[in-house]
Amino acid sequence: MRSDLIHHCFTTFKDTSPLVHNITNDVANNTVANVLLAAGASPAMVHDINEAPEFVQLAQALAINIGTLTHTTLQSMLATVEVAHTQSIPWILDPVAVGASSFRQQACTELLKFKPDVIRGNASEILALAGMSSRTKGTDSGDSVDRAKEAAQQLTQYAKVVVITGAIDWATDGTHSYSVNHGHPMMTQVTALGCALTALIAGFIGANTLKTEDSNSNSSSLLNAATTALCYYGQAGELAAQEAQGPGSFYLHFLDALYNLEAQTLIDHLRVTSS
């Protein structure tokens, strides 16, 4: 991906400071909010069916995460994504541990009917969501990103862009794809950093996509925005790992790195390839 496009997506995100509506899980709520704030966005956690479908209309993007799904939250998610879909408010699905139970699988089948703009999951989640066998370890992945690429391609029938994260992240719109070689293994040792990345991608797509009828230009804007978020997040992980002594201090340094990372630093250190 061209570095000038990454620069543009990054500065547009910072200038917009998008409001991101999250219906996320009990483990992730605080971390997601802290990551969005450190990056320069505004988080809101609004879960109840009595207000979420109304609240989403104020937001630039919606992030849906099934990590601690309940019957009640699922009803709220479905009502809220219906509004987002109808009003072209970009939304992203994080299918946490979808391979672990039929409840999660059926919930995702219902959610996918409202056509997420982006799906972001680890390799096992992307495989399971596409109905392929996976070595899911609950919320963690037991599969390689490469093994999940065909599944991601298949899922582009439901979402305009599909992102697989892992050692080297991969984002595709079904036609164009990018590999992002950033990040650090320590990112798997702090819970909810995948969930927080999903919310950050929501912020990037909310800030960088126009409400347009042109679905081709829309999917390339979504792919560019999602890929820029991956580069930013991964580089922040690398910077934090240079300072950290373990997972606790990594988390603090990670928030600081997200807060301090500048556009020129991002551009100078890019490791993203077309693939």
Ligand X SMILES: Nc1ncnc2c1ncn2[C@@H]1O[C@H](COP(=O)(O)OP(=O)(O)O)[C@@H](O)[C@H]1O
Ligand Y SMILES: Cc1ncsc1CCOP(=O)(O)O
Please state the closest distance from residue 140 (CB atom) to ligand Y, in A: 7
Q: Does 104 appear as a known binding residue?
A: no
Q: Does 1 appear as a known binding residue?
A: no
Residue 68's binding partner, choosing from Mg ion, ligand X, ligand Y, none, with beta-carbon cut-off 5 to 8 A by kind? ligand Y
The b/e string for 21-42 (b: 16+ C-beta within 10 A; e otherwise) is: bbbbbebbbebbbbbbebbbbe
Residue 134's binding partner, choosing from ligand X, Mg ion, ligand Y, none, with beta-carbon cut-off 5 to 8 A by kind? none
d(CA 206, CA 62): 8
Q: Does 2 appear as a known binding residue?
A: no
| CB-based contact 43:20 (threshold 8 Å) | yes
Please state the closest distance from residue 137 (CB atom) to ligand X, in A: 9
Between 53 and 166, name the residue whose CB sits nearer to ligand Y: 166
3 state SS of 200: helix
Between 89 and 126, name the residue whose CB sits nearer to ligand X: 126
Per CB under 5 A, the segment of 47-55, 169-177, 188-196, 227-235 that binds Mg ion is 188-196
Site string for Mg ion, 89-108 (x = CB under 5 A): -------x------------
d(CA 153, CA 149): 6
Q: How many CB atoms lie within 10 A of CB 258?
A: 24
Q: Does 45 appear as a known binding residue?
A: yes
Name the site residues for ligand X (rule: CB under 6 A): 122, 140-141, 165-167, 169, 183-185, 187-188, 193-194, 197, 233-234
Between 83 and 98, name the residue whose CB sits nearer to ligand Y: 98
- The DSSP code for 213 is S
Please state the closest distance from residue 133 (CB atom) to ligand X, in A: 18
Q: Which of 194, 203, 234, 237 binds Mg ion (CB under 5 A)?
A: 194
Count of positions (residues) in the chain: 275
The b/e string for 204-213 (b: 16+ C-beta within 10 A; e otherwise) is: bbbbbbeeee
| CA neighbor of 159 nearest in space, from 213, 95, 100, 107 | 95
d(CA 110, CA 108): 5
Between 35 and 62, name the residue whose CB sits nearer to ligand X: 35
| Minimal CB distance residue for ligand X | 194
Between 28 and 130, name the residue whose CB sits nearer to ligand Y: 28
- The DSSP code for 140 is B
- The DSSP code for 189 is S
Task: Give the burial class of 49: count Cβ atoms within 10 A of its Cβ; 0-12 exposed, 13-18 middle, 19 or more buried.
Answer: middle
Name the site residues for ligand Y (rule: CB under 6 A): 25, 27-28, 67-68, 96, 139, 191-195
| CB-based contact 184:274 (threshold 8 Å) | no
Query: Given the structure tokens 């917009």, which residue do they identify?
Result: 16
Residue 181's binding partner, choosing from Mg ion, ligand X, ligand Y, none, with beta-carbon cut-off 5 to 8 A by kind? none
Please state the closest distance from residue 236 (CB atom) to ligand X, in A: 9
Q: Which residues are annotated as a binding site for substrate?
A: 45, 192
Q: Which residues are annotated as a binding site for ATP?
A: 120, 165
Residues that bind Mg ion (CB under 5 A): 96, 194
